[in-house]
Every structure is written in C-alpha cells, then in structure tokens.
Amino acid sequence: MFAQVVVGGVAAGCVYGLVALSFVLIYKATRSVSFMQGELLMLGAFTAVVLVEALGWPAWVAAVAAVAASFAFGLVLERAVLWRAIGQPHLTPVLLTFGLGLVIRGAVTSVPEATHRMHRLPLPWSRPLTVGPVQFAPEHLMVILATCTACAVLALFFRHSRTGLALRACSEDSGVAAMLGVSPAAMHALAWALGAALAAFAGVLLAPVTFVEPGMGMVALKAFPAAVIGGLASLPGALLGGLFIGLSEALAGRFLPDGVKDLTAYGLMLAVLLLFPRGIGEIGRRQ
Amino acid sequence: MLGCTIRTASLLSWALIVTVADAGVPGVTRDSIRIATIQDLSGPIAILGAPIRDGIVMRLDEENARGGVHGRRLTIAVEDSGYDPKKAVLAARRLLAGDNVFAFVGNLGTPVVMATMPLIVGAGRPHLFPFSPHQATYQPLQPLKFQIFAPYRDYMDAAVRHMVRANGYQRVCLLYQDDDYGLEVGRGVESGLGRLDMTLVERTGYKRGATDFSSQIARLRAARCDLVVLATVVRETVAAMREARKVGWPVDMLVTASGYSAQTHELGGAEVEGLYGVSVLPHPYPGTDTSRRLGEWIESYRTRYDADPNVWSAMGYQVADIFVQALRAAGPGLDVAGFVAAMEGLETSRDFLGGPGYRFSPDDHLGNRRGRLARIVDGRWRLITDYLD
Amino acid sequence: MIQYVALAAAFALSALVGGVDNAFAQAAFVGTLALAGLGLVLIVGLSGQLSLGHGAMMGLGAYAQAGLVGMGIDGLPALAAAATVGALGGLVASIPGRRLGDLGFAMSTLALALVVEEGLLRLAPLTGGAAGLVVPPLTVAGWRLASPVAQAVASLTLLGAALWLVGRLRNSRLGRAWRAGRDDEVAAAAVGIDVRHARLLAFVCGGALAGLAGGLHAHWLGFLSPEQFGLPLSFELLVLVFVGGVRSLSGALWGSIVIVSLPQAIAMLRQALPGFELGAAGLELVAFGLIVVALVIWRPGGLRPEGR
C-alpha cells in the first residue's frame, strides 16, 4: 500500500515537474515569468483531442503533432508579442503572459464542444503493469516513462547539440553569447517555443489522468512551488521539485490529518524560500 | 467631479423612475417578457454553465415558436460572471435597472448567487431555481425565492440510509471536494448515519483540480470502509473508482447527483461498473428505451447546438420549463404578486425528461427534496429505486 | 480636465444604458479596487518591488471586517482594524525580501497568497470556510450604507483621502527613500538610506491600503468565500496598476475604472450586437485579454505615465 501511494505521488510529481520545467526553461533564457503555462498545457491537450476526434489520427501521432503545433505557436507568440518583453521590468512579461492566457482560455471556452463535456485521449495500452505488490496504472506508467524520456532528450539537447549549448550560453550571459556569434533574439524565441512545447507535452500526458477540459490548466499552480523548490534556475531542480511536491502531497494525504495535503506544496515552497532561497540544491552544495 | 456626477445621476435617476413607473411591471410588456440568468461561461465551472444556458434558451425558444405565453414572447439576457461575484453584482444591477428584467432564472455558483440574491429580492424580482446548494436559496421562507434542486443534505441523508439498510454496510466513509458542495454532502451523510446510530468512519478531502487520488484511496482502504460516499464531480468520481479498482479494492461507492452523468461511464468505462449514484433528474439517453418525445428532444438539441445534451442541459431546460408553467398559471394579467401566487400553487407532474414532480406551497418554496438511486450497469446508468424519502 | 469630462460622459452613458444603480455600484467597486491598487502602486511603482499576492491582503482585510462587524462592532473602527490586519499581512509578506532576489521574493508573495487562501478555507470556525460568510451592509455610526450611491460616496471618499495621504507620503523622507532605492539601490545605500527598511514599510503601507479596500469590498459584495481572493484577483490588481501607470498615484483610479468598466462595456456591446446576444461568452475574455496585451505593448507607461 505504501509503495502504491508512492507511485501515485511520483506520477503526479512528474506532471508538476514537466510544467515546472517549461516554466524554468523560459525563466532562465528570457528572465520572464510565464503565467500562461497552464493555458498552453490545456491548449496542447485540446489540439491532440481535435486531431484524434475530428481527423481520426492515432493518439500518439496526434500527441506528437500537438506538441509540435505548440512549439510553432510558442514561436508565433514570441515573434508577435513576447519579444517586446526583452529588457523590460519583470512586470511586463507577467502581464503579457497573463493577457495571452486569458485570450487562450476565452478562445477555447467559446467553442461549444469544448465546454459541453470532457474529452479523453485513448491510451496506447490499457493493461496495468504489476511489479510485486505494486500496480502501475497505464496512464501513470506512461507519464513516468515519457517524463524520463523527455528529460533524457533535453539533457542530450543541452549538453551536446549546438543549439542547446547556444541556448545555455545565452541564459548564462547573453552579452558574451552574442559575441560568440549566438543570436540572442533567436534564442529568446527558441526558449518560448520550447516552453510552450513542454507545457503541451505535459498536457497530453495529463489527458488520460484528468481528461481534457478548459480548467485542466489549474495543475500549473503546483508547478510554481515545484520551480521555486528547485531554485527557479535549475532544470533538473524543477523536475526534482515537482517530484518532491508530488510525493510529499501523496504521503501527507495518506498519513497526516485531513486537509494538510493541500497546504503541503505551498508550505514547502514558503519553507524553502525562507531557509534555502536558492532551492533545495543548495543543501547539497553547502556540505 | 463627484458633485457633478451626483447631480447628473440624480437627474437620470428621476428620469428612470418616471419611465419605470410608466412601464408598470418590470420586464413585462403587452407582447414580451424579459428575464435574465447569470452563468459562468468562462470561469472554473464553465463546463456546467454552457449546457445550462443552452437548455434554458432552448425551452424559451420552443415556447416562443408556439406563440409565447399568453401571447408574450420570452427573451432572456445571459450574463457571464466568470464565477466572480463582483462581476455578478454589477451584472445584476444592470439587469435590474437597465434591462429591467422580470425575474432571474437559474443563476449559477454559490458566491454569485449569494452576492446577487439580496439585490434581486430587494428589487422585488423573483429569484428562481439557482444552481447553488446554499440553504439561503429557499430558507428562511421569502416570497420571492424559489428552488427546485433537492438539497444535498436532504437527499444524501435518505440515500445513505437506504443504502445502509439495503446492503448492510458497517463502515461508511466520505471522499469530498473541499468546498461548499463537499460540506453540504458531508452534512447530509452525517445526518443520515446519525439517524441509524452510526458515525462516519473516515473522511478525506481533495481540492478542485487535483490529479492524484492514490493517497486518499489508500487512506480510506486502511480505514476498512465498506461504503465510500463520493462528494465529487465527474472527473474525480472516475479517478476514485479507477484507483480503487486498480489496487484491487472492490468497495462500493455512492456518488451524488453531481457525479451522476453519462460522462462518468463514458470516461470511466469498465472501472466504474457497479457505481451507485443519486439522480435528481435522469440522464437523457438516446436509444431504444427512451420515449419518442425524449428522442426528439435530444435530436433537436443536437441539431441546434452541435453537441449532445447532458444532465446539465436537462436541468437548464427543466428550470425554464417550470418557469413557463408558472407564467401560464399566472394568467394574462401578469405581475410579480400574481406570479408568486401561481408559483405557490404550482404542482408539476413528471415530464418526458423523467424529473420528479415539483410541488410548491405558500409555506414551502423548495419544490423537491428527493433523489433516486441509480447504478451503472453495462455501461449506463440504470435507475434502481424510485424517489426516496 | 478633458479626462474628467470624458469620465462624466462615460458615467452618464453607463447610467443611461445600465441604470443609475449599476453606474454607482461600478463607482463603488472602482473605489475599492483603486484603493487596493494604490497600495500596489506603493509597492511596485514607488519602491520598485513586485508583489504577486496583493489580492490576499485584500482578503485578510475583508475577512477581518466581516468578522468584526459580525461581532457587532461599528463599521468605522472595524475598517481601521481591517487596515491593520492588511498591514500585518504586508509585514509578513515583506520578510522574505531580506533574503531573496527580486523575482524569488515575488514568488514568495505568490506562495503567501496561496497559503492565505488555504488558511481562510481551513479556519472555518472564524471564516465560515468553504460555506462562505454573509456580510451585512456597512453601518457607520448608525448610518446604513446600503444603496449604491452611499457605497460609491464612501468608496470614493476614502479613496480621495488615501490619494491625498499617499501623495504626502511620496514627497516625505520615506517616499524619497523608496524612489532612491528603486532607482539605484547601491547609491541609495551609499548616502545612508536603509533601503530594506523602506521597502518593508512600502509593504506595510500597501498592505494597509489593501486591507482597508478589502474591508469595504466585503460590504459591497455581501458574501465572502476564500477563492474570491485567489491569484486572479492579485493579477487583476497588477493589470490595474499597469494600465493606470505603475508610478502614478491617480493611475490607480484610471486603471480601476478600466478593470471594472471594461468587462461591463464589452458585455453590453456583446448583447447589443445581433448574433452575439446569447452565445460565445468566451469572446469577452478574449477581448479583455487582447486589450491587456495591447496596452502593455503600446502604452508601457500606462494611461498616466508619471502623472500626479
């Protein structure tokens, strides 16, 4: 039973972590806090649903296409609007993303079919996997595996590809990066596009767990604590922060008094902010 | 600036008072009646607001196609509050003065209802059948407030008692959404158990938007519950059942009318088989065993909105239908007092949608207190009892 | 002057279309949101910090007010207490500022706001929790302010007083310390200004204004529930001060007018347009979002950049 609770917590934590990852990626490269990741997540999931239900595409093709479409959408938003936030105070991107989030949410809710019922994405397989006493639900297994894959791909991208290295260089010091021939404008666009794609990826993974409806972006509220716990500027930290919150919530829900569970994420975030302002990674570094 | 605006405003208000006095009954002319509804069409429960609106509008248009009530066409102003009481208050004020509506029908969401109801009633307009479990929508008795939705605390009380008597449960537990809805259900369950000299063995909450229910189910299982009452909406109902079945826990579950939806088995599939639910209005299933009238209704809804009707569409339709019946009973010389008198004498029979008959009286403005039990068998809800007392 | 004429015209138009009560009710909400916005101008515009949880300070004030009035205390002393509670909230919110960078600090205000919302839900014996809390009309020394006109007058009077007070404050030693710390922290510290202390006081003053605003707001709404003071409200307030101009005191008023009246105007417009009368309410949200984006892009200084 204990292991079962842990599995549930890890799966939830993976989703928190993925959204947090998209948030931190954008933050690192553009110094902008994006408050539309929840809406991008919802839009990505709806895109996949439309491709499956209206065009009859297989679910996994639709999922890949939705993530790609979200990448493109992120690029468009950056070129049209978000580039103007470069060099502006923090408040500018906060408000721009908030406004864009309203536009996305409003556009989706004005489609009757989106507000009349919840939608689902069919899973590629439906049998739970049993390991010893623990049951892995197919949707949880998919979330966990896909998150691991995504992290491996991102790690390779940032360590070994030219573009990934350029993006990293740009996040560390855009001035120096520019001197080395990296275009900060292109990297700015790339970061937003990647952030949008990651949010859509999280949305597609969340679709079998929570189903697709206009309010599903609320999960992004848990991504902020995850990102903060991870130190706001560390990609692995964001993911670990998400896992940490997912697990703590699950354990608090099982063993602590009723009601503590929902305070866990925010309480942890406040505690980390006050004790380890640069994230839980700092604990390791101090020793 | 302030002085100037107050002067302008007082002039304007005089002008308005004069026009209102001329018009007689607000919102009513010789050939039309204007009403209003405040919905959530873009906020957290837009997934309920949109079908409710569509159901209401469809019923009014049907009536208009037949020439209206006593020759008066029905028009409705639909406002979107986005679940924000501030917007709702402003919308209500605007509808009361500017649009000058006759009544408010089916407003959605407790904060919205609680913030606007005093204004509406204060302006002397009927406040009819709001979608809110708050007791204040029908109690204490107030001439202008009417409600048709059976309170959770009443029908869950009866449903839990029936379940315990019929199936002999010993350990009843509760999984609840952490808001006014969950709270009301909890009260009903506790009162029902109290009447059987039992107590709730374990309770555990979740927040709207929660994604993972493994910890809650583990907790309930550890408490060795044999009936879990779910104060959940569709998504969480499916998640809770799925989680329990996944870990091989065959416990019985009973969900409120908020989880009684075709979406529950559409999304939950085999994992929600055997789930008990309370129904205050049956889901409109298309197909063989429905009446011809219901089949036509489903078809015309589908053509009109390009979406399948659900239980919320049916509730919207029902709300408008009762309003229309009361208007008819009030006769051609319509005013608020006459309408209230007609409402207080109204007794509707079961219609093609399968809802209970609603009955109002001068000392009871709550048209129905009862629900009936249903169970998911072979992938659809089957009603297993009549309306329970 | 032109703005005021335009404002009076807009008010008259709104009264004509939506009724006088609606116009005054709008003015009452404009007043409370502008009060809270003024507090945020202090924090964001004058002292150069970012608060993502200002709505929660309003929530603290609203619940304090409702609780005290419920105990039979007169409206005016209750409002003073609401402002004090808001100030305490601001004090607590500003504590992490000593340790965190500006963005980390902003995130801590967000965390605190979420904790406040959750706390209001949990303290059910005091706050009514999820069931909510009914608030009676404001009563000041035996006067019941229940009509929209009275509400508008109360709101705007307090707003006027607050504007005057904050105007004085801005030109005081403290005000200069805020601006010095905002423009150049190092230089300010070099001339002996305790920037940290000044920033803390900005949060305290901003919190007090938000608490006061929340106290009034509670009466204008008549019903409180914790989710009303969640992140959407905090963002609404941020949009408000940005639209008005983050550094302008009267900008809070102009921003508040836009925030309160724009959705109303859009809703009325939608109903006036044939074909849109019933459906597609999401489009109102789209329009509002687009206007926010457009304002941020084309009027980055707000409607009243560095105004009075």
Q: Is C307 inside any structural domain?
A: no
Mention every residue, 6+ apart, whose C-beta is less than 8 A from residue A234: A24, A279, A281
C289 in reach of chain A (CB within 8 A): yes
How many CA atoms, within 13 angstroms, populate the side-chain half-sphere of residue A154?
Answer: 21
Span B152-279+372-383: which CATH code?
3.40.50.2300
Residue C99 CB-density burial (10 A; 0-12 exposed, 13-18 middle, 19+ buried): middle
C231 in reach of chain A (CB within 8 A): yes
B4 in reach of chain A (CB within 8 A): no
Q: Do C111 and A270 touch (CB under 8 A)?
A: yes
Q: For residue B264, which of A151, C71, A120 has the smallest C-alpha distance? A: A120
Q: For residue B53, which of A109, C76, C120 has the smallest C-alpha distance? A: A109
Can you tell me the mean pLDDT for A259-264?
Answer: 81
Q: For residue B212, which of A137, C292, C48 has the smallest C-alpha distance? A: A137
Give the pLDDT of residue C274.
67
Q: For residue C223, which of B134, B39, B41 has the smallest C-alpha distance? A: B134
Contact between B127 and B146 under an 8 Å Cβ cutoff? The reply is: yes
Can you tell me the mean pLDDT for C250-276?
Answer: 83
Give the pLDDT of residue A282.
58
**Mean pLDDT, chain A, integer:** 87
Which residues of chain C does A266 touch, with a Cβ-Cβ cutoff of 8 Å? 111, 114-115, 118
Using DSSP bridges, classify how beta strands B372-377 and B380-383 pair: parallel, antiparallel or unpaired.
antiparallel
The residue assigned the tokens 């072979």 is B378
Structure token digits, residue B21:
């006095």
Read off the pLDDT band of A276 (50, 70, 90). Answer: confident
Domains held by chain A: number? 1
Rounded to the nearest 5 degrees, what angle is found at the Cα of A212, between the Cα atoms of A32 and A101?
Answer: 25
Q: What distance in Å separates residue C206's CA from the closest CA in chain B?
A: 22
B350 in reach of chain A (CB within 8 A): no
C167 in reach of chain B (CB within 8 A): no
Q: Do A246 and B212 touch (CB under 8 A)?
A: yes
Look at A230-234, B113-117, B372-376, C208-212 and tell me which has the smallest mean pLDDT: A230-234
**Which homologous superfamily does the CATH classification assign to the domain defined by B24-150+295-344?**
Response regulator (3.40.50.2300)
Read off the pLDDT band of B289 (50, 70, 90). Answer: low
Contact between B339 and B144 under an 8 Å Cβ cutoff? The reply is: no
Q: Which residue has the higher pLDDT, A167 or B231?
A: B231
Q: For residue B56, which of B128, B120, B6 has the smallest C-alpha distance? A: B128
Structure token digits, residue A91:
């408040």
CA distances from B237 to B132, B163, B368 (A): 20, 18, 25
pLDDT in tens, B9-38: 444 444 444 444 445 889 999 999 999 999
pLDDT in tens, C77-105: 999 999 999 999 999 999 887 777 777 78
A63 in reach of chain B (CB within 8 A): no
A243 in reach of chain B (CB within 8 A): no
Q: For residue C227, which of B311, A168, A262 has the smallest C-alpha distance? A: A262
Structure token digits, residue B325:
């019946």
Q: What is the pTM of this model?
A: 0.89
Give the pLDDT of residue C33.
96
CA nearest to C96 within chain A: A274
CA distances from C45 to B86, C151, C241 (A): 26, 28, 9
Q: What distance in Å separates residue A247's CA from the closest CA in chain B?
A: 10
Q: What distance in Å separates residue C65's CA from the closest CA in chain B?
A: 17
Chain B contact probe: residue of C3, C13, C20, C219 with most B CBs at under 10 A: C20
Read off the pLDDT band of C305 (50, 70, 90). Answer: low
Q: What distance in Å separates residue C115's CA from the closest CA in chain B?
A: 14
Give the pLDDT of residue B19.
44
Q: For residue C127, which of C81, C62, C208, C36 has the smallest C-alpha distance? A: C62
pLDDT at B308 > cutoff 80: yes
pLDDT at B212 > cutoff 90: no
Q: Do A221 and C231 touch (CB under 8 A)?
A: yes
Contact between B209 and A249 under an 8 Å Cβ cutoff? The reply is: no
Q: Is C308 inside any structural domain?
A: no
A204-218, B121-135, C235-249: which is most confident: B121-135
pLDDT at C273 > cutoff 70: yes
Cα–chain center distance at C136: 21
Domains held by chain C: number? 1
**Which among B46, B213, B219 is the nearest to A214, CB-wise?**
B46
C19 in reach of chain A (CB within 8 A): no
Can you tell me the mean pLDDT for B263-277?
Answer: 91
Query: What percent of chain A is modeled with pLDDT above 70?
Result: 95
Q: Do C153 and B82 touch (CB under 8 A)?
A: no
Q: Do A84 and C292 touch (CB under 8 A)?
A: no
Task: List residues bridging with A60 in a β-sheet.
Answer: none
Give the pLDDT of residue A201.
95
Q: Is C306 inside any structural domain?
A: no
**Which among C7, C21, C223 is the nearest to B97, CB-wise?**
C21
Task: List residues bridging with B382 in a β-sheet.
Answer: B375
Read off the pLDDT band of B218 (50, 70, 90). Answer: very high
**B101 — alpha (psi -120 to 50), left (phi > 0) or beta?**
beta
Structure token digits, residue A241:
């922060």
Structure token digits, residue B297:
């209704």
pLDDT in tens, C125-178: 888 888 889 999 999 988 889 899 999 999 999 999 999 999 999 999 999 999
Give the pLDDT of residue C67.
94
pLDDT in tens, A25-56: 998 888 888 999 999 999 999 999 999 998 99
CATH of the domain at A216: 1.10.3470
Q: Do A218 and B243 touch (CB under 8 A)?
A: no
Give the pLDDT of residue C128.
85
Q: For residue B99, which of B35, B144, B145 has the smallest C-alpha distance? A: B35
Contact between A32 and A82 under an 8 Å Cβ cutoff? The reply is: yes
Segments making up each domain of chain B, as ranges: 24-150+295-344, 152-279+372-383
pLDDT in tens, A68-95: 999 999 999 999 999 988 888 888 898 9
Using DSSP bridges, classify how beta strands B227-231 and A129-131 pair: parallel, antiparallel or unpaired.
unpaired
Q: Is the peptide bond before B362 cis (omega within 30 degrees of 0)?
A: no
Q: Do C20 and B39 touch (CB under 8 A)?
A: no
B337/B335 Cα distance (integer angstroms): 6
Q: Is C156 inside any structural domain?
A: yes
Domain housing C256: 2-298
Q: How many CB atoms lie within 10 A of CB B382?
A: 10
Which residues of B, range 95-124, sit inside 8 Å of A by Cβ?
none
pLDDT in tens, A96-152: 999 999 999 989 988 878 877 888 887 776 777 888 778 788 888 889 999 999 999
Q: Which chains touch C (3 or more CB pairs under 8 A)?
A: A, B
Read off the pLDDT band of B8 (50, 70, 90). Answer: very low
- Outline where chain B has alpha helix (H): 2-23, 46-65, 85-94, 110-122, 152-167, 180-195, 214-222, 234-246, 262-268, 292-305, 311-330, 336-344
Read off the pLDDT band of A279 (50, 70, 90). Answer: low
Structure token digits, residue C195:
């920037």
Give the pLDDT of residue B42.
80
Can you tell me the mean pLDDT for B370-385?
Answer: 92
Give the pLDDT of residue A190.
93
B355/B156 Cα distance (integer angstroms): 17
B310 in reach of chain A (CB within 8 A): yes
Q: Do B8 and C15 touch (CB under 8 A)?
A: yes
Phi, psi torsion values for C86, nearest 5 degrees: -60, -40
A241/A169 Cα distance (integer angstroms): 24
Can you tell me the mean pLDDT for B253-282?
Answer: 91
Domain housing A220: 2-286
Q: What distance in Å separates residue C157's CA from the closest CA in chain B?
A: 10
- Please name the helix (run of DSSP H) or strand (run of DSSP E) that holds residue C282, with its range, or none: helix C282-298
Q: For residue C206, which of C29, C25, C61, C66 has the smallest C-alpha distance? A: C61
Contact between B252 and B172 under an 8 Å Cβ cutoff? The reply is: no
Read off the pLDDT band of B288 (50, 70, 90). Answer: low
